[in-house]
Amino acid sequence: MSFLEMLILAIGLAMDAFAISICKGLSVEKIEVKHMAITGLWSGGFQAFMPLLGYWLGSSFREFVEKIDHWIGFILLSIIGFHMIQESKEEIKKLDASFAPRVMLPLALADSIDALAAGVTFAFTEVNIAIVILIIGITTFVFAAAGVKLGSKFGEKYKSKAEVLGGAILIAMGALMLIKDLGGL
């Protein structure tokens, strides 16, 4: 996987965190740098850890599924992508304005499930897992921190667009993975 492919995948995965961060920004009256940093650290940290966990899980049963790994990657990324697009049509829920761990932990965990699934696909591709999780973590940190600020400024206007874009990116990455492994590229 090239650096560009890793970055595109990271941006796709970061879109959910971006959308959630926009909602967090909506919930706070006065945004401070610490709000952006806390959101970025929770989101970026979980988005970096979950692919590593997925990679480890995928590596555990790699030999059983190597012949169909491209299909697994395509299916998982497509499901995640379609789910993100579907979520973009749902009504925006007001989030708790607190940045305490009891609020941030469930948000970061729920948001990073797609990164866990993406991590499973990494076990079946040639990827430097350390580099890819670093790129995912940093990218998500930046998008989440920016999302809090944008949410306070522009509100719900961009949430659904971010989720649609993220979903489309993940579907495209899954299709690209499938085409490459089938010898099309």
Res 73: pLDDT: 66
What are the residues whose beta carbons fall under 8 Å from the beta carbon of 81, sequence distance 6 or more?
12, 166, 167, 168, 169, 170, 171, 172, 174
d(CA 169, CA 14): 11
Res 71: pLDDT: 76
Spans of the chain below 50 pLDDT: none
Res 34: pLDDT: 94
Res 135: pLDDT: 96
Residue with structure tokens 């492919």? 5
Buried b (16+ CB within 10 A) or exposed e, 114-142: bbbbbbbbbbbbebebeebbebbbbbbbb
Q: What tens digit of pLDDT does each residue of 26-77 get?
A: 777 788 999 999 999 999 999 999 999 999 988 887 667 666 666 766 776 6
Handedness of CA 44, 45, 47, 48 (dihedral sign): positive
Kind plus residue range of the DSSP H or E element containing 128? none
| All structural domains of the chain with their residue ranges | 3-181
